Amino acid sequence: MDTQHYKSHEYVYRYDRKSRVKNWFFGILLGMVVILFLPWTQNFRSNGLVTTLYQDQRPQQVNTIIGGQLIKWYVKEGDVVKAGDTLIQLAEVKPDYLDPALLERTAEQLEGKSQSVEFYKQKAGTASLQIEALDKGIGLKLEQLKNKLVQLELKVQADSAETIAATNDLNITRVQYERQRVMFDSGLVSLTQLEQRNQSFQSALAKKISAENKLANTKQELVITRLEINAQVQDNREKKAKADGDRLQSLTAIANGQAEIAKLKNLYASYTIRNGMYYILAPQNGQVIKAKKAGLGEYVKEGEMIVEIVPEKIAYAVEMFVRPVDAPLINPGQKVRLLFDGFPAIVFSGWPNASYGTFGGIVTAVERNTNGEGKFRVLVKEDPSDKPWPPQLQIGAGGQGIALLKDVPVWYELWRNINGFPADYYKPGSKTDTKK
């Protein structure tokens, strides 16, 4: 059918229209050139898990310090507790601690031993005073005896002189008596004169004997005084030795008593602390999970886990596990974009900052050793300059991290991938860092 005579034929076929393919080609080519010079953020991805930034905010096991029998539960799984709340109560099972009055008896022993130590302290003090008194007494007594000894020595000298004088008088009277007797025999003197001389002789003899006896008594008293001095010194030594022995015995008893007091104080403190261990308390605010023991009457061992508590306040973090080939590209302080399981997200590979549903993070630590799977653990915290992480996060939830590296042109990134080159080394704070 010939349609050329129809007016619509001209609008449908438009033979006289100029072609625009060339314009579109150059437009597309220009657009591609422009795209090649657009910025592209180098990055690599790694899977991770939600955890906590601080160790004390992670699920904490509550363990028993002592072994015992479980007699009462104060909480159940899912309960929210405050720090110091009682979780369970234990009963003692060791024979050494079964006495209900053990603490009171130990306190009585401690009090008795303390009184004993005080008694020995007083006794040691008394012995010291006794030694001091003995020193003062013997000093005074020896001083008196020494003065007496000096007086006796002087008296011995005087008595000796008196004896010598009496001996001289006796010798003179003896000579006179002998001469008088010779003269009496010759008839030169009378009997009366002879008797007078004899009387004088006998008197001189008596004085000599008296002087000698007096000297002998003084010397005897002198010897007795010297013996008394020695006896006093010896007696004082014996008394001091006995007092010093009592003092040392008391000091030994004090030392032993103080050692026993320290031991009893340690036992008393241990018993007091152990009494408080029968009630297991919550170490912090949180929620009770994973109760290991189910019923009453069960026995628990020392250090056995009873329950776990998830802290109430948590500073969330994400632990990423990167390959060894990517480990040199990540450093503390580096920016990271995060995707959390359960939260929708749309990610543009070269522009993670513009991606929908991602959250900002900062690398806070990079471990220097690999885990069991040959990967390095990286800990990422929330970026305070970005939007906050969702409050619905739970510990152990999955996530994905996108580590942001250098900003490069699109053409450079294509060239790098075509040639199989690794991403450029990135260090936060360097001159090449464009994401400050």
Through-space distance between the first and last CA atoms of the chain, rounded to whole angstroms: 72
Percentage with pLDDT > 70 across the chain: 90
d(CA 225, CA 243): 26
Residue with token string 């955890």? 51
For the stretch 217-268, pLDDT in tens is: 888 888 888 888 888 788 877 887 888 888 888 888 888 888 998 998 888 8
Assign 380 a pLDDT band (cuts: 50, 70, 90).
very high
Q: Phi-psi bin for 175: left (phi > 0), alpha (psi -120 to 50), beta?
A: alpha
Q: Judge: domain 102-276, CATH 1.10.287.
A: yes
What is the pLDDT, as a whole number, of residue 19?
58
For the stretch 52-98, pLDDT in tens is: 888 878 888 888 888 888 888 888 888 899 988 999 888 888 887 77
Q: Phi-psi bin for 303: left (phi > 0), alpha (psi -120 to 50), beta?
A: left
- Long-range contacts of 28-35, Cβ-Cβ distance < 8 Å, separation of 24 or more: 35/410
Assign 381 a pLDDT band (cuts: 50, 70, 90).
very high
How many other C-beta atoms are found inside a 10 Å radius of the C-beta of residue 211? 21
What is the pLDDT, as a whole number, of residue 145?
75
What is the pLDDT, as a whole number, of residue 431?
44
d(CA 80, CA 286): 6
Q: Which residues of 36-50 are buried (b: 16+ CB within 10 A; e: fewer)?
A: eeeebbbbbbbebeb
For the stretch 103-118, pLDDT in tens is: 888 888 888 888 888 8
60-92+278-310 fold: OB fold (Dihydrolipoamide Acetyltransferase, E2P) (2.40.50)
41-53+315-419 fold: Elongation Factor Tu (Ef-tu); domain 3 (2.40.30)
Q: Where are the domains of the chain?
A: 41-53+315-419, 60-92+278-310, 102-276
Assign 425 a pLDDT band (cuts: 50, 70, 90).
low
